[in-house]
Amino acid sequence: MIKSILFVCLGNICRSPMAETIMRELILERGMADQVMVDSAGIANYHEGERADSRMRSHAADHGYDILHRSRPVLEEDFYKFDLIVGMDSSNVRDLEYKRPADSESRIEMVAKYVTPPQPCPDPYYGGAEGFEFVITLLEEACENILKHEIL
């Protein structure tokens, strides 16, 4: 049973903080906040310490979410601290596998495993409003399925 989840994207300002926020809400709704730890991080430290992208925060607010996370990079200790590490796309997963210490028991999965049809979560950073909306919808489905198949 999964007790800790880390969501990872490239810069930790769009996709992974959105996934973290959605999962926190789902866990809170089910009264499990003290049972499951959730966080997010980025492969790169481009935006370390910054809030999520303002467009992502705006679209999230339209869906009733408040993204409070501040960007941080994936750390070596994350591979020992989290049971499940979920990368948003194949590049994220490849980078996570490369960074993972040999003795880590964390399971690394791509978000595509948890959505139908299976697909990576595209980076909305360089796109328009539709991209941010698509990411939220995809991550809501993924988080529900992670909760149902990995935690409950």
> Is 15 noted as a catalytic residue in this protein?
yes
Collapsing DSSP states into helix, strand and coil, what is residue 77? coil
Amino acid at 68: L
Q: Is 123 a catalytic residue?
A: yes
Coil/strand/helix, residue 68: coil
Q: Determine which one of 15, 78, 121, 143 is catalytic.
A: 15
* 39 among known catalytic residues: no
Cα separation, 112 vs 133, whole angstroms: 17
Active-site option among 24, 53, 123, 143: 123
Of 4, 11, 1, 3, nearest in space to 88 by CA: 11
Instruction: Choose the catalytic residue: 9, 14, 121, 143.
Output: 9
Q: Looking at this protein, which amino acid is placed at residue 98?
A: Y
- Annotated catalytic residues are 9, 15, 123
